[in-house]
Structure 1
Amino acid sequence: MANTTLNPDALTIMLVAGEASGDAHGAELINALRRRKADLRFIGCGGPRMAAAGQEQLFDLTRHAVVGLTEAISHYFTFRQLFFKLVTLAQMQKPDAVIFIDNSGFNLRLAQALRPKLPDSRLIYYISPQVWASRAGRVKVMKRTLDLVLSIFPFETEWYEKNAPGLPVHYVGHPKLDLLLPDALGQTEEGRIALMPGSRTVEIKRHLPVLWEAARLMAERKPNLKFMLISPNAEREREAVEWIERYGRTGFHYETCHNYQLTHLNRCQLALVKSGTGSLDCAFARVPQIVLYKVNPLTFAVARRLVKVKYLSMVNVLSKNPPIVPEFIQQDCTGPKIAAFALELLDHPKMRKHMIDQMTEVIASLGGEGASDRAAREVCLELTKVARGQSHSAHLKPA
């Protein structure tokens, strides 16, 4: 195994993250692993946060994040090239463990490709693919391929016990709880509205026009509203600002920001947010929210046949009494509809308080802080099996 660390016996961990949220969680995991074992070496791909945490990065995969069938097809050759670069890296470096972080469309295929090439490496999936929501058959691939799944939602372990007995799955809690700062709650500014179009370029192009129209209509009714456009990183903020400068007619007050979302969200009275990680961020910050989502019509038609859950937002999926936040999906994802509901929420404090109370219950169900440390502990346990020369798990046989 090639190794550039001072200690020639140091273990190498390859991590693969392809989205902004995965980059954040991957960075926290690297830091947690280093606290347990300082001389680990980290290679692979992720984003700027994982690079800053010390990952030797082959490339930034988060820059290529897409969503939807047609978008994935249009980027097929780019992803194919990146895919085989990672396979080559793994074959050359022979890492002691490979950690796949979320991004199942890419990572599950990569895990399949690496399993026969790395028979002595531990293959670990952090942030389980949502096989319980769609394409449950993928669990057969997971059972044949993976040594361990680290789950962040409490109901997932029971689902796996029923549908993939023998596949090691450990619930570690949600890593976002590790990022909550002491000032992440409270200090709300009346009339401050968060606009959160998403973390991918295609999501900004699709959702920002809808959000901008909703903001304009809301400002016409309430001129004192202040809008904050929140992006997951500087690159996405730049793309959003470029769109605004080119197409966005202003007539209302707005500002932009990026990086640590919760420190900005706690100032907001309401959030208009694309379904996904941002919706959970709003719940963590106890900010009332309106969820929106829009994809290519072909993607939506295919998804309707595959998705088995009733709601799209994880806040609603996790709730015992859904829906607790409104969802404006596809043809309902329009500026006028969203603006009308947002204005109603702003005019009714009791509605907002009820939503906050229900979101608080959802967050309480996710456990407490320490998810990254618990995940690091499970990874280190897998690494001890490498040190003992133990082959990959006995469950890895055709399902």
Structure 2
Amino acid sequence: MREINFSSPDFDRIDLLIIAGEASGDEHSSLIVGKIKERLPKIKLAAIGGRCLEKKGAHLVYPLVDHAVVGVFEVLKNYNLFKKIFSKTISWIKKYNPEVILLVDYPGFNLRLAKELKKQGLSSKGGGEIKILQYISPQLWAWKSKRRFEMEKILDSLGVLFPFEIECYQDTKLNAFFVGHPFADRDYNSPFLYDPNGSLLMLPGSREQAVGRILPSFLQAYQILLRKFPQIKAKILVPSKKIRNLVMNLMDDFPNLKTNVEIIEKISSLKTCGAWMSSGTMSLACAFGGIPGVIAYRAHPMTYLLGKFLVKVPYLGMANILLRESPPYPEFIQGKANGKNLSFSMERILKNDQIGFEFEAISKKLVEMLKAREQEAVDWILQETMLG
């Protein structure tokens, strides 16, 4: 097993420890860190998370985001690794005793951590001094809704991104607050711009297993599409060097596409005519950016069967769930997520000269739906703690 080294900060106290295990949580919480540091310049921040948090000024204790996986069977394959990371996290918290811990999404790890901190008497719910906040609710409305009763026993407060999630906790004593979605924040600038003359965009996700399953379908679709649109270029967005290397290996099976496809890591005002995307955070980011596209997803076969049995929502993409009366994105799952279907759906987008106006309206609708009402995430954190 690879060596797991947790680093020590160069300051003697920790005001706020942030734990984010996925790229989306790393990005969302980094926006909060930026605003907290504006209000409290001397605050001491540490993170078990990713590079976005580090860039905003948090001391990166351990790059947990690098080990993100999805699905029950993928987690089981990496059980010993996560067990060791979990143990190291507890030991680090005992040693540095942060005043507040902000758990960001990632419920399989974070809620178990909150439970253990209570058991060991470290958190305020267990008689200790550490305040435990959870930012981003687990998707109780999709599956495992009874988790809310465990959450009220181990968390001090919860900040949710979607207004309907407040209702999920009405029969508990857990203080839940709608703090707005970061993509609807007035200071948020979408990294995407719709341009009918822009490149096609491929967003295969941030987890190795998921990228390995879906990117070949995207590339097959692009290969088919080039027959009718030979001038169109494509870009593949990757979140890290590890994913970049994986994408380059997958591209070896499509040598004729290498001159047409650019792999990019950083984006700002990226002009695109449409996107093939996995069902994660980036699909919602595209909706906020007014970008038309197609959602496709391939899971481990056993994970898919289990999810089909347990999950209670009609769509995978959050924009489709929020706008279920008229879902903006076609979705293709498992075997239907093939080059032929994805190519045909994108062809329809490229031939629709009204699509830009349609998705501009969708973007405005989502911003109005998900913007903060009474308080933003930073206000909620400072209100629920003594940090301010």
Q: Distance in 2 between matches of 1:180 and 1:37?
A: 21
Gaps of 5+ in 2: 1-7, 123-127
Matched, 1:153 2:159: no
Deviation string, structure 1 residues 58-99 (Cα, Å, up to 9, x no partner): 210011000111111111101110011101111111211111
TM-superposed deviation, 1:204: 1.4
Q: Distance in 2 between matches of 1:120 and 1:110?
A: 16
Q: Distance in 2 between matches of 1:367 and 1:311?
A: 22
Equivalent residue number for residue 392 of structure 1: none
Matched, 1:313 2:317: yes
Matched, 1:134 2:143: yes
Kindly provide the amino acid, as one letter, of the partner of residue 33 in structure 1. I
Q: Is 1:214–1:335's contact at 8 Å kept on the other side of the alignment? A: yes
Q: 1:183 to 1:207 in 2, by over 3 A?
A: closer
Q: Is 1:157–1:169's contact at 8 Å kept on the other side of the alignment? A: yes
Higher relative contact order (CA 8 A, sep 6+): 1
Q: Is 1:324–1:359's contact at 8 Å kept on the other side of the alignment? A: no
Kindly provide the amino acid, as one letter, of the partner of residue 221 in structure 1. K
Q: 1:343 to 1:185 in 2, by over 3 A?
A: closer
Equivalent residue number for residue 76 of structure 1: 79
Kindly provide the amino acid, as one letter, of the partner of residue 144 in structure 2. R
Q: 2:39 aligns with which of 36, 39, 54?
A: 36
Q: 2:178 aligns with which of 151, 171, 178?
A: 171
TM-superposed deviation, 1:309: 0.9
3-state SS of paired residue (1:195): strand
TM-score, structure 2 normalization: 0.89
TM-score, structure 1 normalization: 0.87
Deviation string, structure 1 residues 228-268 (Cα, Å, up to 9, x no partner): 11123344233312321x322324622121234x622xx11
TM-superposed deviation, 1:174: 0.9
TM-superposed deviation, 1:129: 1.0
Q: Distance in 1 between matches of 2:41 and 2:314?
A: 44
TM-superposed deviation, 1:125: 0.5
Q: For this pair of structures, how many residues does the alignment match?
A: 373
- Output aligned runs, 1:175-324, within 5 Å: 175-178=182-185, 180-181=188-189, 185-186=193-194, 188-190=195-197, 192-244=199-251, 246-251=252-257, 253-260=260-267, 263-264=269-270, 267-324=271-328
Q: Distance in 2 between matches of 1:346 and 1:184?
A: 17
Q: Distance in 2 between matches of 1:289 and 1:18?
A: 27
Q: 1:61 aligns with which of 51, 61, 64?
A: 64
Q: Distance in 2 between matches of 1:272 and 1:369?
A: 32
Q: 1:340 aligns with which of 339, 344, 347?
A: 344
Q: Is 2:287–2:359's contact at 8 Å kept on the other side of the alignment? A: no
Q: Is 1:151–1:173's contact at 8 Å kept on the other side of the alignment? A: yes
Q: Is 2:148–2:172's contact at 8 Å kept on the other side of the alignment? A: no
TM-superposed deviation, 1:287: 0.5
Q: Is 1:44–1:86's contact at 8 Å kept on the other side of the alignment? A: no
- Output aligned runs, 1:91-130, within 5 Å: 91-117=94-120, 118=122, 119-130=128-139
Equivalent residue number for residue 331 of structure 1: 335
Kindly provide the amino acid, as one letter, of the partner of residue 294 in structure 2. I
Q: Is 2:73–2:302's contact at 8 Å kept on the other side of the alignment? A: yes
Equivalent residue number for residue 375 of structure 1: 377
